[in-house]
Amino acid sequence: MSVATHRHLPVFKTRFSTRMIEERVRALGREVTTHYRRCEEPLIVVGILTGSFVFLADLVRHIHVPVQVEFMGASSYGNETTSSGDVSITRLRGFPGRWARTNATGRHVLVVEDILDTGRTLQEIQRLIEKEDPSSVEVCTLLNKHREDALAEAKWVGFRAPDEFLVGYGLDHAGQYRNLPSIGVIST
């Protein structure tokens, strides 16, 4: 490979290692389990697509109460690294006007998010779920940028995120890097 080509290869710098993530996710699972241990009906765990799919898959395996897993599609970034401000939420195909197979009325709902930034995505999603009059709606996010003006908050947070654009473990930049097992930044 020529030197010129090599210079343009992106460099990945780890911020949260696989090991750190594993330990933290296990601890979050324990806390969530304790909180919902008296639930009478399965906890509805809603993953926000696409970023949360890796985190959710690991987290639910550390939640030891019955769960029902659902996904809701949301996107606010497009291909940019700053929020576009518009949140679009996709509905469940084949279930007109619905975001899940079952109604959340009287149920406990746990929203699982990869990263909380402006909180606009979560605010929209919480609004949608609240319409169904659930018993409770809580949020578990792997990362939180802890912005002072955030529009939503999370009950459970994995890590405080540095003020950088992170990729890996489900997080993408323009659709790429979700499969990296750790979380870090890409520099070119």
Considering only the stretches 11-19, 54-62, 94-102, 109-117, report the one whose residues sit in contact with ligand IMP under the rule CB under 6 A.
Answer: 109-117
Which residues ranging from 114 to 143 are in contact with ligand IMP (CB under 6 A)? 114-121
For the chain, what percentages of helix, strand and coil (3-state, to nearest 5) are there?
Answer: 25, 30, 45
- Residue 51 touches Mg ion, criterion: CB under 5 A: yes
Cβ-based nearer residue to Mg ion, 29 or 51 = 51
Token pair for 92: 């469940």
Per-residue interface string for the shown chain with ligand IMP, residues 29-58, x marking contact by CB under 6 A? -------------------x--x-------
Least Å distance between CB 5 and ligand IMP? Answer: 27
Identify the active-site residue in 58, 86, 114, 117: 117
Number of residues that bind Mg ion (CB under 5 A): 1
- Nearest partner of 155 among 24, 35, 20, judged by Cα: 35
H-state helical runs in the chain:
3-7, 18-36, 53-60, 120-130
Which 3 state secondary structure label does DSSP give 11? strand
Binds ligand IMP by CB under 6 A, chosen from 70, 166, 169, 184: 166
Number of residues that bind ligand IMP (CB under 6 A): 17
CA–CA distance, 136 with 12 (Å, rounded to integer): 39
Token pair for 150: 């955030």
